[in-house]
Amino acid sequence: MTTTESSPTSDTMTELRRRLGQVSDLAAAEALMSWEQETSMPDEAARVRGLQLSTLAGLTHAMFTDQQTGKLLETVEPANETDGAIVRVARRDYDRATRLPTEFVEAQTQAQNEAHHAWLAARKASDFATFAPHLERMMELARREADLRGYDEHPYDALLDNYEPGMRAGTVGTIFADLRDRTLPLIRRIAAAGDAADYSVLTRPFPAEAQKAFAWKIAGEAFGLEGSFARQDESAHPFMTNFSRSDLRITTRVEPYWPACLFGTWHETGHAMYERGVSGRWERTPVSGGASLGVHESQSRLFENLLARSLPFWNRYFSQLAEAAPEVTAGLDAAGLYRAVNRVNPSMIRVEADEVTYNFHIMLRFELELALLEGKLKVADLPEAWNAKMQDYLGLTPPDDAQGVLQDVHWSAGLIGYFPTYALGNLLSVQLLEAAQADAKIAGGSQNAEYGPLLSWLTENVHQYGRSLTPTQITEQATGRPLSADPYVAYLHRKYGEIYGLEGSRR
């Protein structure tokens, strides 16, 4: 492979790109059908839509894993860097997609469907026992998948690699241990400090349409998400999806607890601006999209927490909030609002957790997944192990399994090795922001909630590469060092030490 960008593209490369373009188009159609199902589809359409989605998924997979794709990938000689990255990523995807026999994938899909239905019923009845055999099966399949995919150190690595290419369970374990040891004392000190703040502001009346409109307006003004290439819709569970870098969709949910809509929108905005920033040269190729779930989450968390839960942000946007929701802001100022949306409150439920306690929900799940996969923990003993760790980390015992071990959908969907990416994203968000703020202009911008320079830095150092660099490459190239818990731990101590008036919290 030469690196001359101007070399003529071979016929094989042209044919490969045509084929990958078609695969990308089919995947986009499936994504659009899914998005539409969640946002606007009439109820009765669900059954046939399920069949349509299944056909599209099957055809996309069949076209990509076709021997013809394999032959092209084997013989192609990319003539420039762009094509080189496309071939590299496509080869990796092809290898991964064809390594699992069709029979295995079908068995896995069926078991997941059954497990998902069992989980819905089990959570409703808070009855872990009826879900247990399905979780056993999920773990068996996960072990077998790890064997089929292959790994050097630990079977968990093969699963983690589905979501965080190149990451190892050993690395995650080391980083998490450090994070745990240095954050637990902070939680204890915050608990000891007491909390006299008034959080009733967070459920003051804020009309649904006004919530959505304010969240969307600020997503544009502060973070650059515009209606010319993006849409906001409502769905039961917020998500971001996209069908090209100029076709981004975020969804939101409106609740009496209005921060769910606002911060949820800005979270999805972070995901969307990542996809927006991916270079156009990866259009309709497997290189488009984010480098990993963790890197994606770093962007959503950066926007949601590091920016939108900062004091400069509310100094700038408080007056607009007051205009949009006068009942919410009555008697309040920017500092008061900042204080209210930064409550540290250990709770049972992961998705409701604050910046300080969130990662403990992840560490707990990671440790339990590892023990289950290794066979050191029996599925039958899982609820007890869950509750014990919850007590250790957050001082709480779930009143029932619905609010404990059964709360998340992931395991019922066979997503083993997925959870760590949430915490890795949190850690990376601060590491990236601090690297960016080494530039005085970006640091100054953040102090005035002027995020243009920061967004340019993120596009240049993270977004543009799509999947052409690994998460590790992006992290080291952008921040000058491997992923570490240091920046996040320091950030927590700095921010919450000040909020809770803790002495010597800076470390």
Tokens representing 411?
A: 């395991």
* C-alpha of 125 from chain center: 29
- Exactly one of 1, 3, 8, 45 binds its own copies (CB under 8 A); that residue is 45
Using the contact rule CB under 8 A, the part of the chain among 8-16, 22-30, 263-271, 419-427 near its own copies is 22-30
Min dist. Cβ of residue 170 to its own copies (A): 41
Q: How far apart are CA 436 and CA 299, in angstroms?
A: 13
Q: How far apart are CA 369 and CA 208, in angstroms?
A: 39
Of 426, 383, 427, nearest in space to 405 by CA: 383
User: For 362, what's the count of Cα atoms within 13 Å in the CB-facing half-sphere?
Assistant: 27
Q: Is 67 a residue that touches its own copies (CB under 8 A)?
A: no
Q: Say whether 268 is catalytic.
A: yes
Residue type at position 136:
E
Q: How far apart are CA 221 and CA 308, in angstroms?
A: 12
Q: Is 48 a residue that touches its own copies (CB under 8 A)?
A: yes
- Exactly one of 7, 10, 22, 472 binds its own copies (CB under 8 A); that residue is 22
Q: Is 51 a residue that touches its own copies (CB under 8 A)?
A: yes
Min dist. Cβ of residue 398 to its own copies (A): 38
Is residue 463 part of an annotated ligand binding site? no
Q: Is 255 a residue that touches its own copies (CB under 8 A)?
A: no
- Residues that bind its own copies (rule: CB under 8 A) add up to a total of 37
Q: Which of 268, 275, 304, 355 is catalytic?
A: 268
Using the contact rule CB under 8 A, the part of the chain among 30-38, 109-117, 205-213, 295-303 near its own copies is 30-38
Q: Reduced to 3 states, what is the DSSP secondary structure of residue 249?
A: strand
Residues 113-132 that bind its own copies (CB under 8 A): none
Residues 6+ apart with CB under 8 A from 81: 3, 5
Is residue 297 part of an annotated ligand binding site? yes
Q: Which is nearer to its own copies, 64 or 119 (CB)?
A: 64
Neighbours of 109 (CB within 10 A): 13
Output the DSSP codes for 30-89. HHHHHHHHHHT--GGGHHHHHHHHHHHHHHHHHHHHSHHHHHHHHH----SHHHHHHHHH
Longest C-alpha distance within the chain, in Å? 70
Using the contact rule CB under 8 A, the part of the chain among 198-206, 240-248, 315-323, 368-376 near its own copies is 240-248
Q: Reduced to 3 states, what is the DSSP secondary structure of residue 286?
A: coil
**Parallel/antiparallel/unpaired status of strands 247-252 and 240-244:** antiparallel
Q: Is 26 a residue that touches its own copies (CB under 8 A)?
A: yes
Is residue 267 part of an annotated ligand binding site? yes
- Exactly one of 73, 142, 230, 433 binds its own copies (CB under 8 A); that residue is 230
Q: Which is nearer to its own copies, 149 or 231 (CB)?
A: 231
Q: Which is nearer to its own copies, 67 or 228 (CB)?
A: 228
Using the contact rule CB under 8 A, the part of the chain among 23-31, 118-126, 332-340, 423-431 near its own copies is 23-31
Q: Which residues bind its own copies (CB under 8 A)?
A: 21-22, 25-26, 28-30, 32-33, 36, 40-45, 47-49, 51-52, 55-56, 58-59, 227-231, 243-244, 246-248, 283-284
Give the residue numbers marked as catalytic: 268
